[in-house]
C-alpha cells in the first residue's frame, strides 16, 4: 500500500485528532460540572460542606496560598503522609482530580460566614477548671519548658529545657501556627491553627482544657498582659475576635472596616503591647492601625479614639462587652508585619511592596519616620540589644541575603550583615553576645549564622544537618543553650552550647517548625519575638 501524500496525511491526522478531542472534551467538561458533586461525595465529610474545614483543613482560596495547584493535585491523588488524608488515584480519574483541584481554588458562590453564633457553638470545654492541680505535676522547672510545634504530624511536644528530654506529646489541630502565647505565670499555653481554632493547654497537668473556632482563616493570636483576654486576627472573615482567656468564651466580634468609606479588610497581625495594656492591630487592606485598650482605668476618650459602640462596628457578647475601646491611627499604606521598640512607644511596620519601613509613634498616633529597608524585612522576627551605648534593632529579610541593623535613636541603618541567603528567624538572649539567624529561604537553607552583636559580623556558620532546612533558634531560660530545628518530616531538634557552639545532643522530631521557651516568652526576653 502506498502512503498518502503529505497534505492528505496531515488532513487525516487532523481529523483523527479532532475525533479524539471530541471524545475527551465531553468527559473533561462533565468532570468539571461534577466537581461539586465529587467534593460532596469524597471531601465534605472531613473538610465541611462549605469547605470551611472540620476534621480536615479549610479548602478555600484564601487558605491555600502556600499550596500550589500542582501540589494540591498530587495530594488529592496520593494523599498526605502523617495525616488522615487518603489518596484518590485509584478512585477518581485524572480529569476528576483536576476538576476537584480547580473547584477548591474557586471562591464559593456564597461568601463564607463565621459569626458570633458559629463561634459560640464551636466551643468545647474538656476539663473543669476546679479540678486542676495547684502545682506542677512534675519535677522539671516549669519556666524552662519548651513547647515544640511539630507540623509533620500535627503534634506538640513539651520538652524539659534542663535535661532535654520530652515530657509529654499531644495532638494539635492541623495547620498549627507557630507563636503560642503563655499566661503571665507561664502555666497555660494558647495555640492557634490557620483555620481558626484556638486551644488552651495546661502545662501543670499536661491536658487540653478548651478550644473554640474563632475564624475560618486566622493569622495569629495575642494574649493580654494580664492574662484575661485572647485576641484573634482573621483574614476570613474580616474580623478581630476577642475571647475570655479563662474558658475561651466569646466576648466580642469586631468587623474590620475602614473609618472612611467602610471598606472591609483582612487583619495582618495582632500583638499585645504590655506597658500600654492594649492590643495593636495591623490591617492588610486598609491604611490603619488599631489600638484596642483593655485597661479598666483607661479614659473613655483620648486622641484618635473612637468609641467601641460605633454603629456597625461589632457584635458584642458577655459581661465584658463594654470594656474594649478602639483607637484608629492612619498610615500611608497597609502594613503586613510590625514590631515594637522595648518601651512600646514606637511601632516599626513594613509592607510587601514597599522599599521602606515606617515608624509610627503610638503616643502621638501618627508616623514619625521612615527607614530605608527593602527586601521585605521580617520585622516580626526582629530583636534588639544594646550596642555601643545605644539600642539597636536587627531584622532578617525575606527577599535579601542580609541582616539589617538599625539605630533606634534616629532610625538610621548602621549595619548590613551579609548572609548565605534570605532568612526568616533571628534569635538571641541577654546572657550571650551572639545572635543566631537562619538562611532557610535561600539555596543554602541548611545553614545557621552566628553573629557577634559587638562587631556586627558573622563569626561562625553551622550546618546542623547538611542538605536539610535549618531554622528557628530558641534559647534556654538561662541562655546557656541554643536549640535549632531541622525542619524536615524526619527532622531533629539540635541542642548547641551557646558559648562554644558545640553540639550537645539531638532529638528526633516530626518537622519541628518552632520551639518556645516559657520563661523567655513571659519575661519578654530581648532576644526573642514578642
* Tens digits of residue pLDDT in 234-264: 999 999 999 999 999 999 999 999 998 999 9
Q: Which residue has the cell 553576645?
A: 433
Spell out the residues 6+ positions from residue 448 whose beta carbon is closer than 8 angstroms to its own.
Answer: 436, 437, 438, 439, 461, 462, 463, 464, 470, 473, 484
Q: How many domains does the chain have?
A: 1
On whether the CB atoms of residues 97 and 79 are closer than 8 A, the answer is no
Give the Cα separation of 198 and 232 in Å (integer): 8
Residue 426: the pLDDT is: 97
Q: Do the domain assignments include residue 32?
A: yes
- Write down the residue that cell numbers 494574649 correspond to: 223
Q: State the cell numbers at 479.
A: 541562655
pLDDT at 308: 41
DSSP state letter for 35: H
| Contact residues for 484 (Cβ-Cβ < 8 A; gap 6+) | 436, 448, 462, 464, 470, 471, 472, 473, 493, 494, 495, 496
**How far is residue 188's CA from residue 208's CA, in Å, rounded to a whole number?**
10
Full residue range of the structural domain in which residue 58 is found: 22-104
pLDDT of residue 435: 98
Query: What is the block-wise mean pLDDT of the chain (530 residues), using blocks of 10 residues?
Result: 41 43 43 74 82 77 76 87 79 88 84 91 96 97 97 95 98 86 98 95 98 95 97 95 97 94 93 96 95 83 40 41 82 91 94 83 96 88 95 95 96 96 96 97 97 98 98 97 96 98 98 95 90
Structural domain contains residue 213: no
Asked if the structure places residue 50 within a domain, the reply is yes
Q: How far is 212 from 230, CA to CA, in rounded Å? A: 11
CATH number where 40 lies: 1.10.760.10
How buried is 418 (Cβ within 10 angstroms: 0-12 exposed, 13-18 middle, 19+ buried)? exposed
Residue 65 lies in a domain: yes
CA 455 to chain centre: 32
Domain assignment of residue 66, yes or no: yes
What integer pLDDT is reported at residue 6 of this predicted model?
Answer: 42
How deeply is 442 buried, as exposed, middle or buried, from its count of CB atoms within 10 A (0-12, 13-18, 19+)? middle
**What's residue 303's pLDDT?**
41
pLDDT of residue 65: 64
Please give the grid coordinates belonging to residue 110. 456564597
Residue 192 CA to residue 199 CA, distance in Å, equals: 6
| Whole-structure pTM value | 0.83
CA dist., res. 269 & res. 282, Å (int)? 5
CA distance linking residue 309 with residue 118, whole number of Å:
22
Q: Is residue 288 part of a domain?
A: no
Q: Cα separation of 151 and 509, whole Å?
A: 10
Q: Does any domain span residue 37?
A: yes
In a 3-state reduction of DSSP, which class is residue 307?
coil
Distances (CA, A) of 217 to 113, 181, 234, 294, 422: 11, 19, 6, 25, 27
Beta-carbon-side half-sphere exposure of residue 375 (alpha carbons within 13 Å): 21
pLDDT of residue 322: 53
Distance CA 147, CA 201 (A): 11
Q: 373 phi and psi, to 5 degrees?
A: -125, 115
Note whether residue 88 is domain-resident: yes
Grid cell listed for 347: 511601632
Q: What is the pLDDT of residues 142-185, one digit of tens each?
A: 999 999 999 999 999 999 999 999 999 999 998 888 689 999 99
Amino acid at each position: 500500500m502506498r502512503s498518502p501524500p503529505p497534505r492528505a496525511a496531515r488532513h487525516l491526522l487532523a481529523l483523527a485528532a479532532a475525533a479524539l478531542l471530541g471524545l475527551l472534551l465531553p468527559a473533561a467538561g462533565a468532570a468539571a460540572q461534577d466537581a461539586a458533586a465529587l467534593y460532596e461525595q469524597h471531601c465534605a465529610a472531613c473538610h465541611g460542606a462549605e469547605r470551611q474545614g472540620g476534621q480536615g483543613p479549610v479548602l478555600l482560596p484564601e487558605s491555600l496560598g502556600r499550596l500550589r495547584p500542582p501540589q494540591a493535585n498530587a495530594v488529592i491523588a496520593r494523599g498526605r503522609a502523617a495525616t488522615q488524608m487518603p489518596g484518590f488515584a485509584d478512585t477518581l480519574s485524572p480529569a476528576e482530580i483536576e476538576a476537584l483541584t480547580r473547584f477548591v481554588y474557586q471562591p464559593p458562590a456564597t461568601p463564607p460566614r463565621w459569626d458570633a453564633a458559629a463561634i459560640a457553638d464551636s466551643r468545647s470545654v474538656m476539663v473543669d477548671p476546679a479540678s486542676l492541680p495547684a502545682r506542677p505535676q512534675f519535677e522539671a522547672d516549669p519556666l524552662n519548658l519548651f513547647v515544640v510545634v511539630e507540623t509533620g504530624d500535627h503534634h506538640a511536644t513539651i520538652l524539659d529545657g534542663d535535661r532535654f528530654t520530652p515530657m509529654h506529646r499531644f495532638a494539635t489541630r492541623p495547620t498549627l501556627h507557630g507563636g503560642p502565647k503563655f499566661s503571665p505565670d507561664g502555666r497555660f499555653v494558647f495555640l492557634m491553627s490557620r483555620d481558626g481554632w484556638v486551644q488552651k493547654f495546661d502545662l501543670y497537668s499536661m491536658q487540653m482544657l478548651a478550644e473554640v473556632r474563632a475564624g475560618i482563616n486566622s493569622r495569629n493570636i495575642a494574649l493580654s498582659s494580664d492574662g484575661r483576654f485572647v485576641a484573634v486576627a482573621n483574614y476570613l472573615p474580616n474580623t478581630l475576635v476577642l475571647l475570655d482567656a479563662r474558658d475561651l468564651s466569646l466576648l466580642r466580634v469586631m468587623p474590620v472596616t475602614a473609618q472612611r468609606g467602610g471598606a472591609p479588610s483582612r487583619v495582618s497581625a495582632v500583638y499585645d503591647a504590655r506597658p500600654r495594656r492594649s492590643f495593636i492591630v495591623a490591617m492588610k487592606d486598609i491604611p490603619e492601625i488599631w489600638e484596642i485598650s483593655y485597661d479598666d482605668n483607661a479614659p473613655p476618650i483620648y486622641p484618635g479614639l473612637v468609641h467601641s459602640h460605633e454603629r456597625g462596628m461589632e457584635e458584642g457578647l458577655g459581661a465584658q462587652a463594654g470594656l474594649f475601646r478602639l483607637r484608629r491611627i492612619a498610615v500611608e499604606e497597609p502594613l503586613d508585619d510590625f514590631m515594637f521598640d522595648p518601651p512600646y512607644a514606637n511601632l516599626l511596620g513594613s509592607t510587601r511592596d514597599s522599599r521602606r519601613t515606617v515608624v509610627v509613634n503610638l503616643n502621638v498616633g501618627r508616623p514619625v519616620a521612615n527607614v530605608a529597608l527593602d527586601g521585605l524585612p521580617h520585622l516580626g522576627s526582629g530583636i534588639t540589644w544594646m550596642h555601643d551605648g545605644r539600642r539597636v534593632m536587627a531584622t532578617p529579610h525575606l527577599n535579601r541575603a542580609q541582616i539589617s541593623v538599625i539605630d533606634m535613636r534616629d532610625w538610621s541603618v548602621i549595619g548590613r550583615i551579609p548572609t548565605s541567603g534570605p532568612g526568616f528567624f533571628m534569635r538571641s538572649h541577654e546572657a550571650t553576645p551572639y545572635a543566631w539567624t537562619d538562611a532557610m529561604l535561600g539555596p543554602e537553607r541548611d545553614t545557621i549564622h552566628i553573629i557577634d552583636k559587638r562587631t556586627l559580623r558573622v563569626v561562625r556558620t553551622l550546618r546542623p544537618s547538611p542538605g536539610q532546612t535549618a531554622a528557628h533558634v530558641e534559647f534556654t531560660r538561662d541562655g546557656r543553650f541554643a536549640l535549632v530545628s531541622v525542619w524536615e518530616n524526619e527532622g531533629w531538634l539540635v541542642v548547641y552550647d551557646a558559648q562554644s557552639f558545640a553540639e550537645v545532643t539531638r532529638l528526633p522530631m516530626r518537622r519541628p517548625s518552632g520551639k518556645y521557651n516559657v520563661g523567655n516568652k513571659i519575661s519578654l526576653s530581648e532576644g526573642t519575638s514578642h
